[in-house]
Amino acid sequence: MSRTVRFELLKVDPATGARLGRLHTPHGTVETPAFMPVGTAGTVKAMLPDEVESTGAEVILGNTFHLYLRPGHKVIEKLGGLHQFAQWKKTILTDSGGFQVFSLKELRKIKEEGVEFQSPYGGSKHLLSPELSIEVQEALGADIAMAFDECPPHDESRAYVEKSMQRTTRWLDRCVAARQRPERTSLFGILQGGRFEDLRRAHAEVLIERDLDGYAVGGVAVGEEREMMMDVTALSAPLLPANKPRYLMGVGYPRDLVDAVARGIDMFDCVIPTRNARNGRLFLRDGSYFNIKGSENREHPGPIEEGCACTTCVRFSRAYVRHLFVSNELLAYRLLTMHNLFVYQAHMRRIRAAIANETMAELVREFASG
Amino acid sequence: MSRTVRFELLKVDPATGARLGRLHTPHGTVETPAFMPVGTAGTVKAMLPDEVESTGAEVILGNTFHLYLRPGHKVIEKLGGLHQFAQWKKTILTDSGGFQVFSLKELRKIKEEGVEFQSPYGGSKHLLSPELSIEVQEALGADIAMAFDECPPHDESRAYVEKSMQRTTRWLDRCVAARQRPERTSLFGILQGGRFEDLRRAHAEVLIERDLDGYAVGGVAVGEEREMMMDVTALSAPLLPANKPRYLMGVGYPRDLVDAVARGIDMFDCVIPTRNARNGRLFLRDGSYFNIKGSENREHPGPIEEGCACTTCVRFSRAYVRHLFVSNELLAYRLLTMHNLFVYQAHMRRIRAAIANETMAELVREFASG
């Protein structure tokens, strides 16, 4: 069977189980483990698409919820899809919109049919269903669509988690049935089951039966402790088929990426590098960070990080970047975002090299003690 | 005598008196008539320096007032000057700071010594004097510094305008005496005298005696009617020496540039293209403008302007740019600013070509009827 996306597992690190691979999509190849910058509303905030690409990113994430509401998926479809609209030529993965509607709390109501919600832009009422989620993601022309699932809070009761998981399965089957363009947009399923091993195991079997193009570990990075996140990841990843990519949604800090890769994860997305940049927080290669606002940067002639090859560090001093940031200059957000995205992609390159060189266990130790 | 900046008058249009020239500075050559984008705080808002350069700009304006307060001229001097700090390699002209302190109204007090004012950032007290203005501009490493003058309101009494003009002359002489680095930073004088021809004439004689590197027509673009601005320009320009550049500060709309060039002006600066861009207002080549917010752009697949070679128009649709703008996305401000700056520089290229081809009178008519 020919697949819209195809995963090539190149190597498994004998010491940790970390995986080196390649994901082939209609818009190119993604070296894995991969980190996807978040392009919420059809733009990685403050950045031109070629700037994002210059950091080494090969795939970005688009948000179904935001693009459905503004400008509307039909507008984007009419204009040739999200790749054309946003001028991003490489791979796009879209989320299902589920996470955003669940986050609306008082403004939403979960039903078997889907999730009723009020738009935060103007209050109009909508029902996001598995069918609509797929319709939107296919209209956007995503290379990878995510199944519409319910993501319960990490401390939910077993009874609720089980009930929710069963609904997620029914929603998955509706997603599968709703697909109109499987040759262009692949579908990843999402593993739920909370912190309960037997539920995770049962749900994994259900997902595997559907033979999807890839799988996400769901129900993590939703406010739980880091240790629980890693435990659930360690428990979940081996339940998923080795020949399909594994995606940990909404993760994380540089150390989280190292640890999750060592637990068998291949793909990540997170707003941490971009959102932190806009708040002045800058990452360094060793995973540490600092805020550019600090007065020690006021006359600092050097770059954000010595030796960093990002365009910000190559050209501008900390003093200049700090000046722009404390002056609320628009250019600050670009320059800071550029650095953080570059550091994140450099981090992924380092992780991939460590798997290739069988030094992943050392990298895990380095970040654990950092 | 060797000059820090040297003006080469290439041609005078026989029909209108418009001038084609070249201004040679320590950081390159500026083709005139020239439009200077405003880089208030060491950045043309939202733009990288090479993006500004890509529009054809050969000189930008920096604001002494803002850079004195943040990050401080001594910080910038220590870091190698404004060219190095902001990574702008071409010519920089700085204003004297006078216009900004006069704009503070209740927060400032004019004295013979200078202008006392309270910082809008935190309320600290300062005295901006001719000496300090020159100190700051030289510390920034401007190629062209402006003399510190008083710019009275356009409807001031003759008695006040005359008194103020005399003080401006005393301040000019203090500026000249304060110069420490004339080999690096040239000095332009500013012609005052309000709407009174004899005062303008008298002040021009005073300025010419000082044999400065260039001259600005001051006291215009301060809220008066367009017609009065053009009358004062027409009256003032011929009073200034033909072999020195003439600069009309704070002007203007595309039609204003055409009309002022036809009255003998060589240089302009204005926030109109950049500030309007950030408010969604986009200029077209014919001098007209529209707001991207308009719902007619919601699904518009074409560029802001057909045939425009700016990077925004080459790559993105009106629909995308509008989506970014209504979503308050940071990328919107870059893309819109890029277009407007490009249109302004294209406008200046067209004006220069019209002078070269002796079709300037036609261009004036075209914009008058537009």
Which one of A95, A149, A259, A266 is the catalytic residue?
A95
A315 — contact with chain B (CB < 8 Å)? yes
Nearest residue to A136 (alpha-carbon basis) of A173, A92, A103:
A92
Are B68 and B40 within 8 A, CB to CB? no
Least confident stretch, A85-94, A318-327, B222-231, B280-289: B222-231
Is A324 at the interface with chain B, CB within 8 A? yes
Q: In angstroms, how far is the first alpha carbon of chain A from the final one?
A: 46
Tell whether A87 is within 8 A of chain B (Cβ).
Answer: yes
pLDDT digits 0-9 by tens, A215-253 = 999 988 888 899 999 999 999 999 999 999 999 999 999
Q: Give B96's DSSP letter.
A: -
In this predicted model, what pLDDT tens digit does every residue of A100-140 receive, in sequence order? 998 888 889 999 999 999 998 888 999 999 999 999 999 99
Task: Give residue A105's pLDDT.
Answer: 83
pLDDT above 90 covers what percent of chain A?
92
User: Between A and B, how many CB-CB pairs are < 8 A?
Assistant: 96
CA dist A56 and A83 (Å) reads 17
List B residues 327-356 in contact with A (Cβ-Cβ < 8 A).
327, 329-331, 333-334
Q: Inter-chain contact A320–B78, Cβ cutoff 8 Å?
A: no
Secondary structure of residue B294 in the 3-state scheme: coil
Tell me how far CA of residue A269 lies from CA of A127, A175, A340, in angstroms: 26, 22, 14
pLDDT tens for A179-193 read: 999 999 999 999 999
Closest CA to B130 of B176, B68, B184, B190: B176
Q: How far is CA B267 from CA A127, A265, B21, B243, B314, in A?
A: 58, 60, 10, 14, 29
Tell me the pLDDT tens digit for each residue of A141-176. Answer: 999 999 999 988 888 999 999 999 999 999 999 999
Chain position carrying tokens 């996807």: A36
Cβ A322 vs Cβ A299: under 8 Å:
no
Give which of B38, B40, B330, B341 to mutate to test A binding, by max A Cβ within 10 Å. B330
CA-to-CA dists, residue B35 to B38, B151, B283, B342, angstroms: 10, 22, 15, 11
CA distance A190 to A217: 6
Judge whether B42 is closer than 8 Å to chain A, CB to CB. yes
> Across chain A, what does the average pLDDT equal?
96
Strands A19-25, A28-32: pairing kind: antiparallel
For residue B138, give the H/E element and its range: helix B130-140
Angstrom distance (rounded) from CA B131 to CA B135: 6
* Closest chain B residue to A300, measured at CA: B79
Which member of B47, B71, B299 has the closest CB to residue A298?
B71
Query: Taking residues A266-286, what's their average pLDDT?
Result: 98
pLDDT at B1: 52
Q: CB contact, 8 Å: B17 with chain A?
A: no
Average pLDDT over residues A306-322: 98
Dist. CA A91–CA A143, nearest whole Å:
6
* Closest alpha carbon to B38 in B70, B63, B65, B61: B61
For chain B, give percent helix, strand, coil, nearest 5: 45, 20, 40
Quick check: B46 and A330 CB within 8 A? yes
Q: Which of helix, strand or coil describes residue B11?
A: strand
8 Å CB contact of B330 and A46: yes
- Is A71's CB within 8 Å of B315's CB? no
Asked if B78 has any chain A CB less than 8 Å from its own CB, the reply is yes
Q: Distance between CA atoms of B219 and B62, rounded to whole angstroms?
A: 19
What are residue B126's DSSP bridge partners?
B117
Alpha helices in B237-359 (DSSP H): 254-261, 272-278, 311-315, 318-326, 330-356
Active-site annotation holds for B269: yes
| Residue from A69, A318, A330 to probe the interface with B (highest B Cβ count within 10 Å) | A330
Comparing CB atoms, the residue among B46, B320, B322 nearest residue A86 is B320
E strand intervals along chain B: 6-12, 19-25, 28-32, 34-36, 38-39, 59-62, 91-94, 108-110, 115-118, 125-128, 144-146, 186-191, 214-217, 246-248, 267-269, 281-283, 289-291
d(CA B192, CA B162): 9
Q: Residues in chain B with pLDDT < 70? A: 1-2, 370
CA distances from A150 to A156, A163, A168, B279 (A): 12, 10, 6, 40
Q: What are phi and psi of B288, to 5 degrees?
A: -80, 170
Considering only the beta carbons, identify the residue of A75, A299, A329 that sits closest to B75.
Answer: A299
Distance between CA atoms of residues B144 and B68, nearest Å: 17
B368 touches chain A (CB under 8 A): no
Asked if pLDDT for residue A1 goes beyond 80, the answer is no
Q: Do B75 and A298 touch (CB under 8 A)?
A: yes
Nearest alpha-carbon partner for B334 in A43, A312, A278, A57: A43
Q: What is the pLDDT of residue B104?
A: 87
pTM of the model: 0.97
The helix/strand/coil state of B307 is coil
pLDDT at A103: 86
Does the beta-carbon distance from A330 to B333 stay under 8 Å? yes
* CA B272/CA A18 separation, integer angstroms: 55
B240 to A87, B15, B237, B265, B352: CA distances (angstroms): 51, 19, 6, 10, 21
* Contact criterion met (CB below 8 Å) for B15 and B361: yes
Residues of A in contact with B60 (CB under 8 A): none
Which candidate from A48, A79, A320 shows the least CB-CB separation from B299? Answer: A79
Residue of A nearest to B82 (CA): A320
Cβ separation of A323 and B79 shorter than 8 Å?
no
Annotated active-site residue A95? The verdict is yes
Residues B22, A285: Cα–Cα separation, whole Å: 48
User: What class does CATH assign to A6-271?
Assistant: alpha beta
pLDDT at A50: 97
Catalytic residue among A149, A256, A266, A269: A269
